[in-house]
């Protein structure tokens, strides 16, 4: 149960903070000798983080029901649909090679440092003025391509999508809002794929509910904390973390 709670905490924090959950799931076992989460644990952890983002952005999701009368809801849905396409295509076509990379911790360490460098570049981007209601389909494509790049372990999905949104001129909070809403189909899709495998293989244990609950609470708090830090100081603190942890991991694995 303690192990499930630990992985729930790691997954919940790293899924939404721009420090790469996939990278940590590769590097922490390599550095500390932990067993990687099994298939059942992976499904439940994804479900926990999905519950976190659904709860935090429940008002945005509720607005999507009123597409006919809410122009902003239609615009957000367009951005989400367009933004989901690149990652879905890349995930389906390159699933095998990406799984191979997951077996190479040093590659995840290098990718984590690359995440840090990209996050640093956001310091050169001025504070945007645009809101999601002003988004265009090209914005969705750019942010979607950034999310596809983040399929590599060590490349942070939230970091890449927030950085891309900021580069497109969105306000920091709006860039994060788009990034987290866009994570919903990505997390749900990953959970569905693993869930189908789990149904075939079995392996569910009750202690995984603890991991799911911890992931949900930690994920919700991570979203709230990131938004506060992002608005005040940007992504620089997370860039420093990625560079330091990635460098240490590269030296040790």
Sorted by where each begins, the domain ranges of the chain are 2-252
User: Tens digit of pLDDT for each residue in 62-98?
Assistant: 988 887 788 888 999 999 999 999 888 886 676 656 6
User: Tens digit of pLDDT for each residue in 103-154?
Assistant: 688 999 999 999 999 999 998 888 889 999 899 999 999 999 999 988 888 9
Residue 203 pLDDT more than 80?
A: no
> Quick one: DSSP state of residue 234?
T
Q: What is the CA radius of gyration of the chain?
A: 17
Closest CA to 115 of 191, 51, 27, 35: 27
Mean pLDDT across the chain, nearest whole number? 87
d(C-alpha 54, C-alpha 219), whole Å: 11
In percent, the amount of the chain with pLDDT more than 90 equals 57
């Amino acid at each position: 149960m303690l192990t499930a709670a630990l992985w729930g905490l790691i997954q919940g924090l790293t899924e939404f903070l721009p420090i790469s959950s996939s990278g940590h799931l590769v590097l922490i076992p390599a550095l500390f000798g932990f067993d990687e989460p099994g298939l059942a644990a992976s499904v439940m952890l994804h479900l926990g983080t999905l519950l976190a983002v659904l709860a935090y952005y429940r008002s945005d999701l509720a607005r999507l029901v009123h597409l006919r009368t809410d122009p902003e809801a239609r615009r957000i849905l367009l951005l989400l649909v367009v933004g989901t396409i690149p990652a879905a295509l890349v995930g389906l076509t390159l699933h095998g090679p990406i799984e191979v990379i997951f077996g190479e911790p040093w590659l995840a360490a290098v990718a984590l440092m690359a995440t840090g460098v990209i996050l640093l570049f956001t310091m050169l981007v001025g504070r945007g003025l645009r809101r999601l209601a002003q988004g265009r389909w090209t914005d969705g494509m750019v942010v979607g391509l950034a999310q596809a790049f983040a399929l590599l372990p060590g490349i942070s999905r939230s970091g890449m999508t927030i950085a891309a949104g900021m580069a497109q001129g969105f306000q920091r909070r709006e860039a994060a809002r788009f990034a987290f809403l866009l994570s919903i189909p990505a997390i749900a899709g990953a959970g569905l794929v693993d869930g189908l495998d789990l149904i075939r293989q079995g392996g569910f244990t009750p202690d995984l509910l603890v991991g799911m609950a911890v992931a949900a609470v930690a994920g919700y708090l991570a979203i709230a904390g990131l938004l506060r830090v992002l608005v005040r100081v940007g992504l620089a603190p997370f860039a420093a973390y990625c560079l330091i942890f990635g460098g240490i991991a590269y030296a040790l694995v």
